[in-house]
Amino acid sequence: MSFFVCFDGSTLDSALLSVALDLLSTFLAFLSATSAVLSMFLAFLSAFSAVLSMFLAFLSMFLAFLSAFSAVLSVASALLSIALPLLTVASAFPSVAAFSSVALLFLSVAILFLSVTSAFPSVALPFLSVASAFPSVAALSFRRFGPSFRHLGFSIRHLNFSFRHFTLSPIAPTPTLLPITSIFLSLTSTIDTG
């Protein structure tokens, strides 16, 4: 046998609605805090994008310096290529033999230095190309993040409006029946055994 107890529907509905609105308000506060954190993260990403843009400008200047340095190395290598045979011929004369030996040693070291340093721009250019492409990709990603955060903020404001609209909605006083069969069955079994 099942028993039902009739409560005042408007009172019970108001209590349940109050609990639901408290939960929704807490969830809305959490969403607002999340939106604030996301806004701060977006500001950090914007600052990071500005730093990357400055780094890209520095890389462009460094690339121009490497190009100029490579041109200087090419000219110096050509001059050394001309000076080396001349010193070899001049070393046959006794008056310049001592000078030519020192000059040949200097030229050998200079040619070795130019050979090593001339390879540096070739190694640095691929790295600079990859590094210069990274800020462009990052800036594109940051611009894609922005509309998502703004859309989230719009959704939270829309949700807040829905909560207010729901709060202002009238409550229909309908009776509510709550079954408490198990309690009354245990009570009747106790009475029967008594």
pLDDT value for 174 = 43
Closest CA to 80 of 48, 113, 53, 55: 113
Q: What are the tens digits of pLDDT across the range 110-143?
A: 777 776 766 666 666 666 666 666 655 555 555 5
**pLDDT over 70 for what percent of the chain?**
42
Closest CA to 104 of 86, 128, 119: 86
Q: Does the predicted TM-score (pTM) go above 0.75? A: no
Evaluate whether 18 touches 172 at the Cβ level (below 8 Å).
no
Q: What are the tens digits of pLDDT across the range 93-111?
A: 666 556 666 666 777 777 7
What is the distance between the alpha carbons of residues 6 and 25, in angstroms, rounded to a whole number? Answer: 30
Q: What are the tens digits of pLDDT across the range 46-71?
A: 899 888 888 888 888 887 887 787 77
Rounded alpha-carbon distances, angstroms, from residue 27 to 21, 22, 115, 130, 169: 10, 9, 67, 44, 20
Both tokens assigned to 40: 């701060």
Both tokens assigned to 74: 């090419």
What is the distance between the alpha carbons of residues 96 and 8, in angstroms, rounded to a whole number? Answer: 121
